[in-house]
């Protein structure tokens, strides 16, 4: 499942997800906040059919996946799980906004979406859920490192 949803910046909620997809700021406000079925209908009627890979990539999932692999490592001592835990923690840390971000540096965004060909953080930056999940992932990594030594 991860293989189909994982992107370079985060994890898609599901394929062809139109919420915060490519150039989402251009979508009328009443459509942005509508039900997904209404939003998808608007996209079809306006020839904005979503292409694979144009979905938002959410930052709340990578730290959770890291923590899950951490639990598996702690239970089994299988170093493949520790490797995956580290990989997803590193992805999570890579999602933190740079100093050049319009939201400021060192913020945990909700998601990244395509805006004029580049992935940028969504408006819900910082997002406390992402911060909380990252804190859990960091604590889990600390436990794994203690076990590994």
**Per-residue pLDDT at 1 exceeds 80:** no
- The predicted model scores a pTM of 0.91
How far apart CA 32 and CA 124 sit, in angstroms, is 14
How far apart CA 40 and CA 148 sit, in angstroms, is 48
Phi, psi of 119 (to 5 degrees): -80, 130
Specify which residues 112 forms β-bridges with. 57, 121
Phi, psi of 61 (to 5 degrees): -90, -40
- Rg of the chain on CA atoms, in Å: 17
Look at residue 114 in the predicted model and tell me its pLDDT. 95
Note the pLDDT tens digit of each residue in 18-43.
Answer: 899 999 988 888 888 888 888 888 88
Look at residue 50 in the predicted model and tell me its pLDDT. 82
Look at residue 2 in the predicted model and tell me its pLDDT. 76
């Amino acid at each position: 499942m991860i293989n189909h949803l994982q992107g370079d910046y985060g994890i898609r909620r599901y394929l062809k997800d139109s919420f915060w997809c490519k150039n989402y700021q251009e979508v009328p406000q009443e459509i942005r906040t509508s039900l997904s079925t209404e939003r998808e209908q608007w996209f079809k009627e306006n020839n904005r059919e979503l292409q694979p890979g144009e979905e938002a990539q959410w930052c709340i999932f990578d730290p959770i996946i890291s923590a899950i692999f951490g639990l598996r490592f702690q239970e089994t001592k299988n170093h493949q799980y520790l490797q995956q835990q580290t990989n997803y923690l590193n992805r999570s840390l890579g999602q933190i906004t740079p100093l050049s971000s319009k939201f400021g540096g060192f913020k945990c965004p909700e998601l990244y979406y395509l805006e004029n060909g580049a992935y940028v953080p969504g408006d819900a930056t910082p997002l406390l859920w992402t911060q909380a999940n990252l804190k859990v992932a960091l604590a889990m990594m600390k436990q794994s490192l203690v076990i590994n030594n």
